[in-house]
Amino acid sequence: MKERLHKDVVIIGAGMAGLTAALYCGRMNLDTLVLENGIIGGQIANATDIENYPGFVSVKGGDLISTVQTQAENFGAVIDEFDEIEKVTLKTSPKIIETQEKIYEADVVIIASGMNRRKLPLPEEKKFAGRGVHYCELCDGHAYDGKIIAVMGGGNAAVDAANFLTKYAKKLYLIHRSEFRADEVSQKRLRANDKVTIMLQTEIKALRGDKRLEEVEIFDKKSGETKTLAIDGIFVNIGVEPNTALFKDELTLTASGRISAGEDCRTEIDGVFAAGDVREKEIRQLTTAASDGTTAALLAEKYLAKLKG
């Protein structure tokens, strides 16, 4: 029989939005629990150099998030990164979050479950995942010291990943099916590196290898040519998908799979807030994630005050 516990606020996700919400909830003396199924920090935990977060010239994602985690915990928020959520029921009062080990009853739920990287849409992906196809540069880049690396994608995450991986690669290809969407600053840094070959308007059509990835087949859309490149490892950065599978029966999701909520982070269910990248919005940055976390926490406190009369 699972233990039943009551919490003022349960925050789902310990990325920047979730931890900022936890920090604010903690400061307001709310009994706050943060549940995280992946890694604390989410996407940002893998970021190597963050240069657009105010207050820091350059900071590692892991260091920044670790500080926010400490702030949240110092104000009494509890973070559980090992007990996985199995089911959520949001329309009841209190709301129910069932994990592998416990059942939490919560007056407020803040959903800050963020995004996961989109998988490489090729049938061979499963065969080579972890054996030449990777989704975390910081975790797996070191295994390609002195080897040939490809980065797939053309946004900021892809170009930043490519810049980071040049420290290991003897040769690095950046392969993208259309044009760059990354910031000029990051693009310039990449273009200036002699190890790098940029292949735009190029698609990866197939992955080949015996036990590990050995080569990729690419298609140049401009010339119509198909070529084979010897590649030891490919790091996939072709976008992200919202982590909303848990909520699809409880909340209306938008066409992109995100949660519909305004700038006040309120969802269609009273006492349920959506914060950070998981919320449907135009701008998704680390700063706006922190902003959402703040807004959700402050409005959660107002909701709780009204609820408790």
* Active site residues per annotation: 136, 139-140
The closest alpha carbon to 196, from 155, 156, 148, belongs to 148
Q: Is 124 in the site for another protein (CB under 8 A)?
A: no
Task: Name every residue whose Cβ is closer than 8 Å to that of residue 228 and which is 6 or more positions away in sequence.
Answer: 208, 215, 216, 217, 218
Q: Is 45 in the site for another protein (CB under 8 A)?
A: yes
φ and ψ at 85, to 5 degrees?
-75, 135
Single out the segment in contact with another protein by CB under 8 A; choices: 128-136, 178-186, 258-266, 273-281: 128-136
φ and ψ at 92, to 5 degrees?
-90, 170
> 229 with 150: CB under 8 angstroms?
yes
Helix (H, G, I), strand (E, B) or coil at 29: coil
Residue 62 vs 76, nearer CB to another protein: 62
Residue 5 vs 138, nearer CB to another protein: 138
Supply the minimum distance, in Å, between the C-beta of residue 140 and another protein: 6
Q: Is 209 in the site for another protein (CB under 8 A)?
A: no
Q: How far apart are CA 221 and CA 215, in angstroms?
A: 19
Nearest-10 crossing angle of helices 16-27, 61-74: 20
Of the candidate residues 67, 136, 285, 287, the single one contacting another protein (CB under 8 A): 136
Contacts with another protein by CB under 8 A: the residue count is 18
Q: Is 41 in the site for another protein (CB under 8 A)?
A: yes
What's the number of CA atoms in the CB half-sphere (13 Å) around residue 67? 8
Q: Is 40 in the site for another protein (CB under 8 A)?
A: yes
Supply the minimum distance, in Å, between the C-beta of residue 253 and another protein: 28
Of the candidate residues 143, 230, 245, 305, the single one contacting another protein (CB under 8 A): 143
Q: Is 58 in the site for another protein (CB under 8 A)?
A: no
Residue 183 DSSP code: -
For residue 48 the two structure tokens come to 């190597």
Supply the minimum distance, in Å, between the C-beta of residue 115 and another protein: 16
Supply the minimum distance, in Å, between the C-beta of residue 245 and another protein: 19
**CB 267: neighbour CB atoms within 10 A?**
23
Q: Is 125 in the site for another protein (CB under 8 A)?
A: no
Of the candidate residues 5, 59, 138, 269, the single one contacting another protein (CB under 8 A): 138
Of the candidate residues 46, 202, 243, 288, the single one contacting another protein (CB under 8 A): 46
Judged by CB under 8 A, the chain residues 72 through 111 that form the site for another protein are: 81-82, 84
Q: Is 2 in the site for another protein (CB under 8 A)?
A: no
Task: Name every residue whose Cβ is closer than 8 Å to that of residue 75 and which is 6 or more positions away in sequence.
Answer: 23, 26, 27
> What are the C-alpha distances in Å from 67 to residues 7, 61, 62, 82, 120?
24, 10, 9, 20, 33
Q: Is 15 in the site for another protein (CB under 8 A)?
A: no
**CB 92: neighbour CB atoms within 10 A?**
9
Q: Is 131 in the site for another protein (CB under 8 A)?
A: yes
Residue 59 DSSP code: B
Q: Is 245 in the site for another protein (CB under 8 A)?
A: no
Residue 42 vs 293, nearer CB to another protein: 42
Of the candidate residues 27, 60, 208, 281, the single one contacting another protein (CB under 8 A): 60
Chain residues binding another protein by CB under 8 A are: 39-41, 45-46, 60, 62, 81-82, 84, 130-131, 136, 138-140, 142-143
